[in-house]
Amino acid sequence: MRFSNDFLDEIRDRVPISALIGSRVAWDRKKTNVSRGDYWACCPFHGEKSPSFHCEDRKGRYHCFGCGVSGDHFRFLTDLEGLSFPEAVERVADMAGVPMPKVDPRAAARAEERTGLLDVMEMATQFFQDQLQSANGAKARAYLRERGLSGRTIETFRLGYAPEGRNILKEYLAGKGVPKDQIEACGLVVHGPDIPVSYDRFRDRIMFPILSSRDKVIAFGGRAMSPDAPAKYLNSNETELFHKGQVLYNFSRARRALQGADGVATLIAVEGYMDVIALYQAGIENAVAPLGTALTENQLDLMWKVTAQPVLCFDGDGAGQRAAFRAVDLALPHLKPGKSVRFAMLPDGKDPDDLVKQDGRAPFDRVMAEARSLDDMVWAKEVGQGSFATPEQRAELEARLKQVVTVIADENVRRHYQQNVRDRLYAFFQTQGGQRAGRGNFERGGARSGGRGGGPQAASRAGAAVSDRLARSGLVNRQASQPTLRESVLALTIVNHPELLQEDYDEISVIDFDNRELQRLWPALLTAVAEAGSQLNREELSERLQAAGFADLVKALDQQIRNARLWTATTVAAFEDAREGYRQALSLHKRAKALRRQKAELERDMAEAVEAGDAERHDSAMAVLREVQTEIVRMENQEAIIDGFGVMSGRVKGPAYGHGN
């Protein structure tokens, strides 16, 4: 039985090759990367002790680096189990849940018709290519040269030219014996009941052949040479061969480029044909483009079959941002574990062609390196330039974000997005001067627990009592306006030892302070460091902070640190001691933040469980909460002891660290 390529592609796409092979081999845990669909095992075709058999879901292929066997789903079954090809197809179809095609004379005739249409499209492609190189194509050749395209690039993409006459292509194909109905079925002419005589669809246009995933020409895009043309770009109409929303320009070539890549590369979706071609000429061969419309679900799914995180590249202007936000809405419902999209925003007024024309690929690579995650774009879309000064505005934002992420169909991904939203709202409202979003709901949930022990009140009872030493400690018993000693150490150590920033700038620059004054100090300090560069020293930084109005704050921090005798944060500490004390303080700070977030989430879960009457969920969260609360108290007791002795590093190393006694 003959199977159509469409059917074989469908069942291969539905069944990850790892699922087929995994029932016959044991994957090596060390080398296998499940999230990337990258699997290793000992080869089932020859005996070996170390895994050299490799398969990739993205490619749908396997290869053994020991014995050299390779193939796809069907080859694996025919070679390993001795199945015939039809039997292998039936096995994969069963796994895919797709019924085997019935023998249908009409389907066979249709497949034969498609083959005939593909032959006509190939003839038209050759015609357009020849026309570009003829006297008729001089103007088009000049335009392509002005756009910086080389002869080799023009040949690679098989660019052509449709001459101005109304019937030139039609008469050429008819002269080659192509029937009228085939010319019409290919969409090469405009025809219909109200059109007495059909005529060429593409006239005086540079022609871009659009290929199927199997490298067959199935349609064309044409760019008008005349500025008076009603449409700058014109695509083929929908035909038996071509369905615009299911095809990406340059998809087959980009997929091949990724097959030799290192796993970091991904598909890049840009706006148009010329963007794809310009990037290719600059050495970026993994770009695709939708065909003159906004990205569709089918096109996004096509990219996901090749790569887990395609990058969608948009113009940096308002229209590009709106297009990016539409893509956010498109992608969200279809997210899966490990499957998402990222967004690269171009500089205003620039397209990929502009970026690579003068300086090569480097400017575009920088844009790609700054691509934003989908959750970042969700946040940017909803927050925008809005004002959230009042409780009502903050409540509206919270409700809107909750609604946005409910469209995610996958339960696990949705749950993590909900947590992401809660974390972002908490941090955002702190900087806005608000309270944690939804806190009242948590407290009401606990109050309604009816003595079950749910909610935050139970969480407080779950932890151990704070010791007297801790209650007296400046780490927990402080005025609201005064930072914790830990935060004071983090800030003052950098003021006194700015060279630490040169070692760990990325981590230090994003420290999330609870104290308002330190939230104001930090960007001013980072700005001063950035402006001064590597030449900045302690004295110059102090002068800059004083000029910015932070002299009193720095003085108060210094006094607080000296009172606690935490000498590693002061000017007298050696750099190595300051570094060690700083890293320990930062580690404690990050751990404390993580524990507080986990505690708040568990309290929320308990409150929601009470409202839902889910006792099992409530008790499970309560058990974890006890452990978290105990860890919080343990950490705070430990820091209180450190505070009492004035030794951040936990050991005395002379006068710079402790009392000096």
**Run of H or E residues at 93:** helix 85-96
- Residue 452 scores a pLDDT above 50: no
Say how far apart CA 436 and CA 600 lie, in whole Å.
10
CB atoms within 10 A of CB 179: 12
Say how far apart CA 212 and CA 5 lie, in whole Å.
12
**In the chain, where are the structural domains located?**
5-96, 105-242, 251-379, 385-437, 468-645
pLDDT at 578: 87
Q: Distances in Å between the alpha carbon of 214 and those of 118, 252, 531?
A: 12, 7, 54
Whether residue 60 contacts residue 258, with contact meaning beta carbons closer than 8 Å, is answered with: no
- Residue 312 scores a pLDDT above 90: yes
Say how far apart CA 221 and CA 219 lie, in whole Å.
7
pLDDT at 443: 31
Assigned token pair, 112? 């034969």
Split at pLDDT 50, 70, 90, the class of 388 is confident
What three-state secondary structure class fits 592?
Answer: helix
Mean pLDDT over 510-531 rounds to 82
- Residue 97 scores a pLDDT above 60: yes
Interhelix angle for 575-612 vs 615-645, to 10°?
A: 160
Assigned token pair, 458? 């139970």
Mean pLDDT over 146-150 rounds to 92
CB atoms within 10 A of CB 261: 12
Say how far apart CA 563 and CA 204 lie, in whole Å.
83
What three-state secondary structure class fits 148?
Answer: coil
Mean pLDDT over 431-443 rounds to 42
Give one word for 401, left, alpha or beta, with left for phi > 0 and alpha for psi -120 to 50.
alpha
Split at pLDDT 50, 70, 90, the class of 642 is very low
User: Cβ contacts of residue 352 below 8 Å, gap of 6+?
Assistant: 270, 275, 278, 279, 287, 313, 346, 364
What three-state secondary structure class fits 313?
Answer: strand
User: Cβ contacts of residue 22 below 8 Å, gap of 6+?
Assistant: 39
Q: Where are the beta strands (DSSP E) in 72-131?
A: none
Higher pLDDT, 590 or 453: 590
CB atoms within 10 A of CB 604: 21
Assigned fold of 105-242: DNA primase DNAg catalytic core, N-terminal domain (3.90.980)
- Residue 122 scores a pLDDT above 80: yes
Whether residue 272 contacts residue 314, with contact meaning beta carbons closer than 8 Å, is answered with: no
pTM of the model: 0.56
Higher pLDDT, 260 or 117: 117
- Residue in the block written with tokens 């993409």: 157
Assigned token pair, 558? 């210094």
Range of lowest pLDDT (20-24, 210-214, 621-625, 644-648): 644-648
Range of lowest pLDDT (385-389, 390-394, 470-474): 470-474
- Residue 649 scores a pLDDT above 50: no
- Residue 573 scores a pLDDT above 70: yes
- Residue in the block written with tokens 């609870």: 514
Residue 29, exposed/middle/buried by CB under 10 A (0-12, 13-18, 19+)? exposed
- Residue 518 scores a pLDDT above 80: yes
In the chain, % of residues over pLDDT 90: 40
Q: Which amino acid appears at position 306 of this protein?
A: V
- Residue 419 scores a pLDDT above 70: yes
Whether residue 498 contacts residue 541, with contact meaning beta carbons closer than 8 Å, is answered with: yes
Assigned fold of 251-379: Dna Topoisomerase Vi A Subunit; Chain: A, domain 2 (3.40.1360)
Mean pLDDT over 500-523 rounds to 81
pLDDT at 445: 33
**Run of H or E residues at 312:** strand 311-314
Mean pLDDT of the chain: 81
- Residue 195 scores a pLDDT above 50: yes
Provide the residue count of the chain.
661
pLDDT at 68: 82
Q: 355-361, long-range: CB within 8 Å, 24+ apart, which pairs?
A: 356/278, 356/279, 356/281, 356/282, 356/284, 357/148, 357/278, 360/282, 360/283, 361/279, 361/282, 361/283, 361/284
Of the CA atoms within 13 Å of residue 5, those in its CB half-sphere come to 10
- Residue 261 scores a pLDDT above 60: no
Say how far apart CA 613 and CA 624 lie, in whole Å.
19
Burial 460-486 (b: 16+ CB within 10 A, else e): eebbeebeeebeebbbbeeeeeebbbb
Q: What is the pLDDT of residues 543-568, one digit of tens each?
A: 888 888 899 899 999 988 888 778 88
Assigned token pair, 533? 């560069």
Say how far apart CA 611 and CA 507 lie, in whole Å.
40
DSSP state of 533: G
Interhelix angle for 318-331 vs 374-383, to 10°?
A: 120
Say how far apart CA 151 and CA 148 lie, in whole Å.
10
DSSP state of 217: E
| Residues forming beta bridges with residue 38, ordered by sequence position | 33, 56
The dihedral through the CA atoms of 134, 135, 140, 144 has a sign that is positive
- Among 3.90.580.10, 3.20.140.10, 1.10.3720.10, 3.40.190.10, what is the CATH number of 5-96? 3.90.580.10
Q: What is the pLDDT of residues 8-65, one digit of tens each?
A: 988 998 899 999 999 889 999 889 988 888 999 998 887 778 899 999 998 899 998 8
Q: Which amino acid appears at position 189 of this protein?
A: V
| Phi, psi (deg, nearest 5) at residue 238 | -65, 135
Angle (nearest 5°) at CA 551 between 545 and 552: 150
pLDDT at 639: 56
Mean pLDDT over 233-238 rounds to 92
Q: What is the pLDDT of residues 358-373, one digit of tens each?
A: 778 899 999 999 999 9
- Say what the alpha-carbon torsion angle 123, 129, 133, 139 is, to the nearest 10 degrees: 120
- Residue 409 scores a pLDDT above 90: yes
pLDDT at 61: 92
pLDDT at 259: 62
